[in-house]
Amino acid sequence: MRSIVNLCLLSIFLLNAGQATGQKSVRSIVSQLKEADSYEGISIPGWLVRLGSSFAAKHDDELRESGIAELIRKVRHIRIAKAKVGHRETSDKMPARFIKSLREDGFEEYVRVRDEDQHFNLFVRQQGNQIKNLVLFSNEGGEMSLIHIKTRWTPEDLASISLDKLTQNVSSSGFNTLLKN
């Protein structure tokens, strides 16, 4: 009996240790953003994302046909955090620390966009051929935003997205008309 309990405890420990990989840096960033008075954040479990996606896909043919609904079904968790960092010297150093901690946690930078006071980075952490974590990090004049998506996406999932259907959806919704005005 004692060996069964020890085996169960060891299994729980190993499962939790595996889940924590790639999460330490994101948790650290969010906890630092929480220290700001202007912090806003939300954490959405994957089951709720999938439920909302299934409702939307039932009523939106373009969403279903574009392949986005299938991609959303593989989302396990979404965390969004935003805060305005007050001190100029702090806001200058924080993004570099955040990016360094993401890299140390096994994330690879896929996209970096810089424009005067706006910076955007996209980080991905893969395990084998699966994308396990996706982090979008933005810094605009000291206002920092982070979106962390835990997924199980494969290259085939991403290749199955029909960009033609997405652009047709955007065009048919009158978005182009809105931009012209």
- Joined together, the tokens standing for residue 173 give 């919704």
Residue 40 tokens, joined: 């806003």
- The pLDDT of 146-169, averaged and rounded, is 78
* Residue in the structure block whose two tokens are 């790639």: 22
- Inform me whether the pLDDT recorded for 13 exceeds 80: no
Alpha-carbon span 134 to 141, nearest angstrom: 23
Q: Is the pLDDT of residue 146 over 50?
A: yes
The 10s digit of each residue's pLDDT in 120-143 is 999 999 999 999 999 999 888 888
- Per-residue buried b or exposed e for 110-129, using 16+ beta carbons within 10 Å of the residue's own CB: eeeeeeeeebebbbbbbeee
E strand or H helix that includes residue 18: helix 2-20
pLDDT for res 45: 94
SS3 116: coil
8-22, 50-64, 118-132, 155-169: segment of lowest average pLDDT: 8-22
